[in-house]
Structure 1
Amino acid sequence: MNSKVNAIVIALTAAALFGAATPLAKALLGTMSPFMVAGLFYLGSGGGLGIGILFRRFRQTAQQTEPAQRLRKAELPWLAGAIAAGGVAGPALLMLGLSSTPAATSALLLNLEGVLTAVIAWVIFKENVDLQVFLGMVAIVAGGAVLSWHPGAAGVPVGALLIVGACLCWAIDNNLTRKVSANDAMVIACLKGLIAGPVNIAIAVTTGATAPTLPTTAAAMLTGLGGYGVSLVLFVVALRNLGTARTGAYFSVAPLFGVALSLLIWPEMPSATFWIAAALMALGIWLHVRERHVHEHMHERMEHTHRHRHDEHHQHAHDFSYEGDEPHTHPHVHLPITHSHAHFPDIHHRHRH
């Protein structure tokens, strides 16, 4: 499996896990406070990933393998902004908006996250976009709109503006997370969960919510570990390899996975809109998969740390004892180079066109 297909599969897996969290929450959690749900999901994500990180570091120490990767000081503001926007402001705005907005309207508005993510990536961060990629995004978002559409549901209340604000927060989160995506994806996702979880739980308690039973709490945190934690780890890895707009487009397929799982939990014949949405999303994915962006480009000098193999972009010397083990992680320098090959706007291809 080549790196392109691998990155796409990772992005779609992240979408599937996130999409599955919605029907699982409905099946497991009942009528819990929305802020409590979000808080337990995030807390389960951060706590579970934290245990995984500790286990991984213990194993690395025991085996005397490579040291743990650390966030650089200059990257902390990007991560802090992503956590504040996507882990705190986004859920708060969504919950406030949902309280006064019809479910059908809310579902349609939530499709704006993919659009806003792409617009910010293309306009502000200058990520390249081809016509084929743009049309693929349109098809995926159209599929999401069809999937969420309920005939007869009319009116957009004031709360809809809050939901749009939530989508904007998550779009900002996606773009800021890309700035730190070369780092350890588990650490990034863990920090988001450990900060966003307590904040949302505090909001829930302040607004009068009570703690759920222990089994419900455990179910919520386990669902959060998969749907928020593991999903976010995979999302960050996809950002690293595909860029923000393309990863956001694949992640927009999440509602389709959610509806499919709902049909398995509560069996019924899929409606025509489900198949139309699936066809549109499949078309969008196909347009993205068949993209081939090739041109001569120049790599400027770059220094960073991430897990890598010694491919054409990683031909560097080592200032430590190296026995040829790959992939491995260490700080390394990319010297300027000009060449031509097919590529995505990944962490090594953020050049102007």
Structure 2
Amino acid sequence: MNLRINAIVIALTAAALFGVATPLAKALLGSLSPFMVAGLFYLGSGIGLGIGIVIRRLRRPAGQIDPGQHLQRAEIPWLAGAIAAGGVAGPALLMVGLSSTPAATSALLLNLEGVLTAVIAWVVFKENVDVQVFLGMVAIVAGGVLLSWHAGATVSVGALLIIGACLCWAIDNNLTRKVSANDAMVIACLKGLIAGPVNIAIAAATGATLPAFVTTAAAMLTGLGGYGISLVLFVVALRNLGTARTGAYFSVAPLFGVALSLLIWPEMPSVTFWIAAALMALGIWLHVRERHLHEHTHERMEHTHRHRHDQHHQHGHDFPYQGDEPHTHPHVHLPITHSHAHFPDIHHRHRH
């Protein structure tokens, strides 16, 4: 139970960091190219996390062996696809969409990322989605339609671009699930170091230039928190909750964005805005209270990730072990059948 609560708290913290970055990006768009903002956000994320990885290694006690969590060759295409969709296409669409869409509306519209993430996980990757999760998605979609629908029964271009960004991130989330057992800091760092320069290069090709040092530093620092640390926490939550559930908890990100955006740009939200917010809040509540319990069988599996010796990790060690937990090393899961409340995490990706 504690592990489940910890994973939920981690997912909500990731959502908060990402949510507050959205109105800050809106503020920066007044003077910067959308691609430059996205590039600086990710570059700040990559550099900041890279420094963190170096510090982590330097702090390792002398003589201690780090078994690591190295990406396997078969996992590289999944990570490359995630970076292309979520690190390049998604931020660019979001930044362009933000330039013509009210901040509060943009923030709530980003709830669709969680819905699209769950749909792809359910339909494409066959992850289990219970009735409550489905009903929650319906409520969030209804709220998103209200936010993007204007007089004349048309959807604004800005809203469509933000929805496109949500789709890119949904694809990213599902592809990242394939590599989520690896070091979360390394995954997020690689995404930042690749996506950042690509977006900056696109900005430069369209005539944009780097802003003043203070603005550049502010954008990179915002990216470290909203895109870097947030992604690290998201990957950890993804590892423990599964794609659809993590996406659901991450859907609270816009609520944090709304709170900050209304402080930056004070305005009285419309009735439609509040109806949409209520529908999205209902959807999130349905996701949070969902429980999944049944007898299931674990097939034999061998992998490497950070773990404790819980009910799924009862194994011996082929190296000197002093009882330190959590720790990381290659280990084998033998077949077992049991029943307990669980999510489709890295140990529960069975069919139903």
Aligned to 1:78: 78
**CA 1:24 to 1:52, structure 2 compared with 1: closer, same or farther past 3 Å?**
same
What does 1:143-292 align with in structure 2 at a 5 Å threshold?
A: 143-144=143-144, 148=147, 152=151, 155-156=154-155, 163-267=162-266, 276-292=275-291
**8 Å Cα contact 1:121-1:175 kept in structure 2:** yes
**CA 1:273 to 1:260, structure 2 compared with 1: closer, same or farther past 3 Å?**
farther
User: What is the DSSP-based 3-state SS (H/G/I as helix, E as strand, rest coil) of the residue aligned with 1:89?
Assistant: helix
Task: Among all aligned residue pairs of Structure 1 and Structure 2, give the percentage whose two residues are the same amino acid.
Answer: 85
Question: Residue 171 of structure 1: CA displacement?
Answer: 1.5
Aligned-pair RMSD on alpha carbons?
A: 2.7
What is the identity, as a one-letter code, of the residue corresponding to 1:232? Answer: L
Structure 1 Cα separation of the partners of residues 63 and 96 of structure 2: 49
User: What is the DSSP-based 3-state SS (H/G/I as helix, E as strand, rest coil) of the residue aligned with 1:167?
Assistant: helix
Gaps of 5+ in 2: none
Aligned to 1:35: 35
Aligned to 2:307: 308
What is the identity, as a one-letter code, of the residue corresponding to 2:316? Answer: A
Structure 1 Cα separation of the partners of residues 63 and 278 of structure 2: 48
Structure 1 Cα separation of the partners of residues 159 and 255 of structure 2: 22
Aligned to 1:132: 132
User: What is the DSSP-based 3-state SS (H/G/I as helix, E as strand, rest coil) of the residue aligned with 1:171?
Assistant: helix
The reply on whether 1:318 has 2:289 as its aligned counterpart is: no
**CA 1:307 to 1:21, structure 2 compared with 1: closer, same or farther past 3 Å?**
same
What is the identity, as a one-letter code, of the residue corresponding to 2:178? Answer: K
Aligned to 1:90: 90
Question: Residue 157 of structure 1: CA displacement?
Answer: 6.0
What is the identity, as a one-letter code, of the residue corresponding to 1:235? Answer: F
**8 Å Cα contact 1:60-1:67 kept in structure 2:** no
Question: Residue 203 of structure 1: CA displacement?
Answer: 0.1
Structure 1 Cα separation of the partners of residues 102 and 155 of structure 2: 11
Q: Deviations over 1:264-319 (max 9, x none)?
A: 34456666556545544443333233222111111011111111100000001101
What is the identity, as a one-letter code, of the residue corresponding to 1:32? Answer: L
Structure 2 Cα separation of the partners of residues 115 and 347 of structure 1: 21
User: What is the DSSP-based 3-state SS (H/G/I as helix, E as strand, rest coil) of the residue aligned with 1:62?
Assistant: coil
User: What is the DSSP-based 3-state SS (H/G/I as helix, E as strand, rest coil) of the residue aligned with 2:77?
Assistant: helix
Structure 1 Cα separation of the partners of residues 240 and 143 of structure 2: 25
**CA 1:223 to 1:145, structure 2 compared with 1: closer, same or farther past 3 Å?**
farther
Question: Residue 109 of structure 1: CA displacement?
Answer: 6.3
Structure 2 Cα separation of the partners of residues 63 and 133 of structure 1: 48
The reply on whether 1:348 has 2:330 as its aligned counterpart is: no
The two structures have a TM-score, normalised by structure 1, of 0.89
Question: Residue 151 of structure 1: CA displacement?
Answer: 5.8
**CA 1:268 to 1:96, structure 2 compared with 1: closer, same or farther past 3 Å?**
closer
Most deviating of 90-99 and 337-346: 90-99
What is the identity, as a one-letter code, of the residue corresponding to 1:89? Answer: A
Structure 2 Cα separation of the partners of residues 164 and 113 of structure 1: 8
What does 1:91-130 align with in structure 2 at a 5 Å threshold?
A: 91-94=91-94, 110-130=110-130
**CA 1:159 to 1:256, structure 2 compared with 1: closer, same or farther past 3 Å?**
closer
Most deviating of 251-260 and 203-212: 251-260
Aligned to 1:299: 298
What is the identity, as a one-letter code, of the residue corresponding to 1:257? Answer: F
Question: Residue 112 of structure 1: CA displacement?
Answer: 3.7
What is the identity, as a one-letter code, of the residue corresponding to 2:332? Answer: V
Question: Residue 27 of structure 1: CA displacement?
Answer: 3.8
The two structures have a TM-score, normalised by structure 2, of 0.90
Gaps of 5+ in 1: none
User: What is the DSSP-based 3-state SS (H/G/I as helix, E as strand, rest coil) of the residue aligned with 2:180?
Assistant: coil
